[in-house]
Structure 1
Amino acid sequence: MKRRLFFLIILVTIPVLLSGCWSKKELTDLAIVAAMGVDKSEDGKYAVTLQIINPGNVAGGIRGSGPQSPPVTIYSATGNNLVEASRTASSKISRRLYYAHTNLVVVGENLAQDEGLAPIIDAIDRDHEFRITTTMVITHQSTAEELVKALTPVDKIPANKVLKTLEFTQKIGGKNIKTSVQDVMKGLQSLNGDTVVSGFRLSGDSKHASSLENLQESEPEATLQASGIAILKEGKLVDWLYGRNARGTIWILDKIQGTNINIDWKGKKDAISYQTVRQKTDVSAHVKNGRPSISIHTRVEGGIGEMNNVPVDITDVKVISKMEKELAKEVKKEIKQAIEQAQTNKADIFEFGDVIRRKSPSDWQRLKPMWNEVYFPELNVDITVEAYIRRAGLRNKSFLSTIEENQQ
């Protein structure tokens, strides 16, 4: 009897303890924010631009003879801080702003230069809905509002266009890098507070970019594109890395996923294209007679992608060896240029200081007070690059080499 009573009490108690659906959120009551842009207005307030998904338009697409609607709706508001601006924006919407699916945070270039990213990241980190894995970019030669408002023809949701572009350009070109809010947080919390952030820009007329006509053109007048890497010093934007300097930075950070390297051959510019397959960069530190130094060792393997109008016999060991030396020279040049630009800005974006701290904590305590101003700008960096050609495509000898041999 007592046993039955015990089980009866448990059965009655369990439903009381269950949370049920007390925190449920109906989809029809939510305004899902795909991207958030933050600028600084002329009166010194934060100007927030929200890109909100129109579920019906995304699912059905923009087609038919009836009235056409964009896949996203834009709402803007200002405030003395991000929370105030967000609440002001919510007063314009019939639904609750929902940030859990926000994939992109866009920071205006002027705001990044004047105030830095720390206040924005602090607000995001405090919000229980915002995910710190969200991608963060800084606009280049445009405002965050212009970038968030732009409509893109292939990817219906513009925020997804930015994310996919960063992913593919990092995998293929190696001159861009995808950074999340978490990555930026770690960089700002590093020993010197220096780090890098993805750059993005609007190319074309900003007014045309936000119109439906931009979606209906086979060759859009306005497009969104990756644009360099921003250098942050103590949380503020100080310079931009482009092209080979940007790739040199990514080499050092060991975040190259794939790229192609062009080298000159027989007097012809960029005659041979080399495609990387795998790569690894190791950074070590040394302190001798009180002076710090850094050693960088990069190893890259890949294959020949193209030979532009030059006869080359890949079966010749000497030819392969010469190519590998030229490739190593090119990678070393890019790494050196990236370091020189960072030293000019006195921004240790490579975290060399942390490498020295792990190697010799006692020496780091002595170097730390003057690291950015004295030691890093004059730091001696030894660069070693090993490049290997592992494959040559479907043909060992180039097509041009075969033609020359037949004509002899």
Structure 2
Amino acid sequence: MKRLLGMFLPFAACVCLLSGCWSKKELTDLAFVIAVGLDKTEDGKYLASFQVVNPGNVAGATQRGGGAGGVPVSIYTSTGDSLDEASRKASEKVSRLLYYAHTNLVVIGEELAREGLDGVFDVMERHHQFRPTARLVIARGHSAKDTLSVLTPIDKISANQIIKTLEFSEKSWGQTIHADVWWAIRGIASPGRNPVMTGVSIEGSLEKGKRQENVQSSVPDARVTLNGLALFKNGRLVHWVNGPTARGMMWVLDRIHQTNLTIPWEGKQEAIGYRTARAKTNVEARVNNGRPSISVHIKAEGDISEARVPINLADAGVVFRLEKELERNVKQEVTKAIETAQREKTDIFGFGDAVHRAAPRLWKKIEKEWHDRYFPELDVTVTADLYIRHTGLRNKPYIEEE
């Protein structure tokens, strides 16, 4: 009897400690929020837009090979004095509980970004469901709500299309940045760095882009495209940059994976194309006589992607000249990018963090005036080493001398 009682008591104790399903949530009671859009209303309140998945329509569209079964997402909006209030107030419109564990995109309206992001990310960082790895973009020229409302043809859920475009564009082109909420929080909280984010715009007719017919045409009436980099200072959007200047910033941030450079040759513009295969940027701070300075060294290697002029790529001297021209091109992009940031008085490169690591005592004296006084006058030296590893199957292009 004692033996049986000794075996039963441990099991009884375990049963008492089991929590059971006290916190269970049925799938049919959850609304999966894939993306969140944030704007400001005319009366100063937050306008939150929630892109919620319609599971049946997503699965049906996949099985039927198109979007004939209905729109894959729905947009719900609500307003509030705070983001948490706007989120909870949305329960008046949604028949399910908003669930943020799968939220992977945050779109911030340009007007709100210019007004300031103070407090915007606080609720996201504290929320037990929200992931700080959610991607972050700025709606340029349109509201965040409009950006999330456009239906996309390839990826049925437009938030996924924006995320994948961000990822692949940074890897293959290098003029946009794959930033997330945690990246922005660190940039805002750090005295030696300001955040930079990618902008998204709407091309075409917004009204037609909201309709299902937009995904049933080979040429959609509206598209969501990436559009430049947004520079921030003290949590506020202060400037937009595009093109080579944006890529120059990506060089300094060490976020270039692959990109394509075109350089002139023998008097012809955009004559030689160069595709980078790998790149690395080192930023180092030095202090001389109490004055900080920065050296930026870029090292990259790649291949000749095209040659539109007669050139002998088998000649080592010619290849050496091409490498020097490529280095000059990269230094020019990077120098212009740094000058732009210095003119806007916003250190998006983290030069202040580098000075902090190199000279902690000096940094304590200058950190409060870093962006407005020291960074605009900072002496920055840029060097670049670019190597041509491969020239392709043809050393002499079939283009003949005229």
The TM tier, using the shorter chain, reads: over 0.9
Contact 2:48/2:77 (CA < 8 Å) preserved in 1? yes
Aligned-residue Cα RMSD (Å) equals: 1.8
Provide structure 2 residue ranges, at least 5 long, that are not aligned to the other structure.
none
Shift of the 328–67 alpha-carbon distance from structure 1 to 2, 3 Å rule, reads closer
| Residue 191 (structure 2) aligns with | 191
Percent identity reads: 49
Structure 1 residue matching 2:377: 3-state secondary structure: coil
| Residue 14 (structure 1) aligns with | 14
Q: Distance in 1 between matches of 2:6 and 2:276?
A: 69
Which one-letter code corresponds to 1:272 in the other structure? I
Which of 273-282 and 16-25 deviates more? 16-25
TM-score by length of structure 2 reads 0.96
| Residue 385 (structure 1) aligns with | 384
| Residue 347 (structure 1) aligns with | 346
Contact 1:192/1:234 (CA < 8 Å) preserved in 2? no
| Residue 74 (structure 2) aligns with | 73
Give the superposition deviation at 1:183: 0.7
| Residue 212 (structure 1) aligns with | 212
TM-score by length of structure 1 reads 0.95
| Residue 315 (structure 1) aligns with | 314
Shift of the 67–399 alpha-carbon distance from structure 1 to 2, 3 Å rule, reads closer
Structure 2 residue matching 1:185: 3-state secondary structure: helix
Q: Distance in 2 between matches of 1:399 and 1:25?
A: 67
Q: Distance in 2 between matches of 1:2 and 1:259?
A: 77
1:101 aligns with 2:108: no
Q: Distance in 1 between matches of 2:367 and 2:259?
A: 35
Contact 1:106/1:139 (CA < 8 Å) preserved in 2? yes
Structure 1 residue matching 2:146: 3-state secondary structure: helix
Which one-letter code corresponds to 2:112 in the other structure? L
Give the superposition deviation at 1:364: 1.6
Q: Distance in 2 between matches of 1:190 and 1:313?
A: 50
| Residue 92 (structure 2) aligns with | 91
Which one-letter code corresponds to 2:344 in the other structure? N
Structure 2 residue matching 1:294: 3-state secondary structure: strand
Give the superposition deviation at 1:197: 1.3
Q: Distance in 1 between matches of 2:232 and 2:67?
A: 48
Q: Distance in 2 between matches of 1:346 and 1:2?
A: 80
| Residue 168 (structure 2) aligns with | 168
Q: Distance in 1 between matches of 2:193 and 2:327?
A: 31
Aligned pairs (5 A) from 1:150-299:
150-192=150-192, 194-299=194-299
| Residues 110-159 of structure 1: CA deviation (Å, up to 9, x unaligned) | 00101x22311001111111100000111111110110111001110000
Shift of the 66–271 alpha-carbon distance from structure 1 to 2, 3 Å rule, reads closer
| Residue 36 (structure 2) aligns with | 36
| Residue 148 (structure 1) aligns with | 148
| Residue 60 (structure 1) aligns with | 60
Q: Distance in 2 between matches of 1:185 and 1:11?
A: 48
Q: Distance in 1 between matches of 2:284 and 2:139?
A: 34
| Residues 75-114 of structure 1: CA deviation (Å, up to 9, x unaligned) | 1111111112112212111111111101111000000101
| Residue 110 (structure 1) aligns with | 111
Q: Distance in 2 between matches of 1:4 and 1:321?
A: 87
| Residue 328 (structure 1) aligns with | 327
Which one-letter code corresponds to 1:105 in the other structure? V
Which of 18-27 and 73-82 deviates more? 18-27
Contact 1:193/1:235 (CA < 8 Å) preserved in 2? no
Q: Distance in 1 between matches of 2:17 and 2:395?
A: 72
Give the superposition deviation at 1:18: 2.0
| Residue 122 (structure 2) aligns with | 122
Which one-letter code corresponds to 2:51 in the other structure? Q
Contact 2:39/2:46 (CA < 8 Å) preserved in 1? yes
Give the superposition deviation at 1:313: 1.3
Give the superposition deviation at 1:6: 2.8
Structure 2 residue matching 1:125: 3-state secondary structure: helix
1:337 aligns with 2:336: yes
Shift of the 21–328 alpha-carbon distance from structure 1 to 2, 3 Å rule, reads same
Which one-letter code corresponds to 2:44 in the other structure? G
